[in-house]
A and B are shown apart, each in its own frame.
Chain A
Amino acid sequence: MSLMRATSPHARAGDSTAKVMLQVAAATLPGVLALVIYFGIGVLINIALCSITALACEAAIVKLRQRPVAFYLKDCSAFVTALLLGIALPPYCPWWLPVIGASTAIVLAKHLYGGMGYNPFNPAMVGYVVLLISFPVDMTRWVGPAEIINGAPGIDEALSLVFGFGGYNVDGFTRATPLDIVRLNESVLLSQLYATEPVLDQGTVAGLGWEAANFGFLIGGLFLLFRRVITWHAPVAMLGTLTLMSLLFYDSGSSLSEGSPMLHLFSGATMLGAFFIITDPVSGATSNKGRLTFGAGVGLLVYIIRAWGSYPDAVAFAVLLMNFAAPTIDNYTLPRTYGHKSARRATDLEER
């Protein structure tokens, strides 16, 4: 009889990385659903393209690095990255955008840095930003909500748009996003703008479709919070800062206003970013205090870029910029350990 030697603890909570990832994936469902309802099946095509590319890239790289492929694919992290990227890309974009984006995310942003757990930047956002900078035109063409463009593209239309046959042009479907509208407006009062622009007019606060999608992601985020997959710190800090900033520069709805808080909260990729992107633990800050700082930083940057930058939405840039700052934030936001009078800094010992 040989007895096993093992170190404590001998019991485990039974969570696995795959389970965590799948919960994240499940939590995107309401938002994706809203996107499908309002913008058609384009987002699904994106997700599918991204996922296939990402999994293929992951498998290839893992194979190249001589590690067990199945073991790594099973952790589902590549799938979640692809999912988030697919959601962020404009629907009905040409097929090579998701493919390039997903492969950049997996190969460049993840595996070149050492794979899962080592990437300093959020892979999905790296993929997104690479595309945004390389193909700004394709990346900023968002289709309008179905009701405004008289019905979203059907399956055949969608496929021909994506794969570029049949002579359809996506321009026939695209409309300015609410954020674009508000940012470019310099002449009329916000209330007039809301009355004249169909997207805003038919929506309640932040534009038809957009508000629903954001609401969906909010619900998904709350689910994650409830499941304790994420903590409240980063989302609350980001949304709080964003609200505060938009209140400060609301300018009571004048023509120079940068938009109401509700517009900022429920338009663009705000909720997706708050609950799914900045809560990415690998590239974010570590401690709860750090997460608060990180989230607040993202919120601030999002508003600054939205209001005064030249890109319509800013979550990706804001997240990447804050990823740069994460190690520094970590250094200054160590929690106070039991039995210590005050928190330490990680570099304290070295500086002494």
Chain B
Amino acid sequence: MLDWFSEISTPLLILGGMALAFGALLGFAAVRFKVEGDPLVEQVDALLPQTQCGQCGYPGCRPYAEAIVHGEKINKCPPGGQSTINALANLLDVEPMPLDAEHGEEKETKMVAFIREAECIGCTKCIQACPVDAIVGAAKYMHTVISDECTGCDLCVEPCPVDCIEMVPLETPLQGWHPEKPPEGIELIASDRRQLSKRSAA
């Protein structure tokens, strides 16, 4: 009888003790290493281009990031383009998909807004439209774009009553230029080679 009892009780005690110890450890870890906020949203947001253009259908990049975390498709951001989609796919461990054309196309060159200052009537409409406060000016005074802060989101062009805002390609200064990676040559796999020959033929 006693034997039987101890045979059962020893493993029980050991297992129970272990369960307690690990439970305590886990509990401690949960408190000690608690992560503030939703880290995934932060991570997704960090990958989005922060153009804040709203082309994705959300009023800014962060709302879109939140939506993505809640299951929205990852291919709705034209400014970020394919590279952003790939990065998101990598982060969220899903298949990368092509950009959803419904939201616009990826632009080749970076653009910034430019206000033809002589024509500006100082209506402040563009200031209200700019999501990143990149336009300075006061009512009835000429406005101008801080091109360093402008994300090229296009939102200020439409509201201007005198149509004096245009998007100009962002110039690369000589200091910022760098050579391209050498073209992939001999070591290409077959399909790439065909593409390459097509490209060189064009």
Q: Report A43-81 residues with CB < 8 Å from chain B CB.
A: 65-68, 71
Task: Give bound CA distance, A174 to B20, whole Å.
Answer: 70
Q: Is B186 part of the binding interface, using a Cβ–Cβ cutoff of 8 Å?
A: yes
The answer on a CB contact under 8 Å between A71 and B186 is yes
Instruction: Judge whether B189 is part of the interface by a CB distance below 8 angstroms.
Output: yes
Chain A nearest CB, measured from B64 CB (Å): 29
Chain B: CB-nearest residue to A114: B187
Tell me whether A7 and B190 are in contact (CB under 8 A).
no
Q: Which size bracket describes the interface of B in this complex?
A: under 10
Interface residues of B in 139-192 (CB under 8 A from A): 179, 182, 186-187, 189-190
Is B193 a contact partner of A7 (Cβ separation < 8 A)?
no
Residues of chain A contacted by B186 (CB below 8 angstroms): 67-68, 71
Residue of B nearest to A72 (CB): B186
In the complex, the answer to whether B190 meets A65 with C-beta atoms within 8 Å is yes
CA distance A67 to B187 in the complex (A): 8
Residues of the A chain whose Cβ atoms lie less than 8 Å from the Cβ of B179: 7
Q: Min CB distance, A60 to chain B, in Å?
A: 15
CB-CB under 8 A from A66, the residues of chain B are 190, 193
Min CB gap A136→B, angstroms: 38
Interface string of B92-133 (1 = CB under 8 A from A): 000000000000000000000000000000000000000000
- Cα(A68)–Cα(B186), bound, Å: 8
Residue pairs across A and B with Cβ atoms less than 8 A apart, 11 shown, are A7-B179, A7-B182, A65-B189, A65-B190, A66-B190, A66-B193, A67-B186, A67-B193, A68-B186, A71-B186, A115-B187
Rank and list the top 9 A-B pairs by shortest CB-CB distance, nearest first. A66-B190, A7-B179, A66-B193, A65-B190, A67-B186, A71-B186, A68-B186, A65-B189, A67-B193
Task: Given contacts A7-B182, A65-B190, A66-B190, list 8 more A-B pairs with CB under 8 A.
Answer: A7-B179, A65-B189, A66-B193, A67-B186, A67-B193, A68-B186, A71-B186, A115-B187
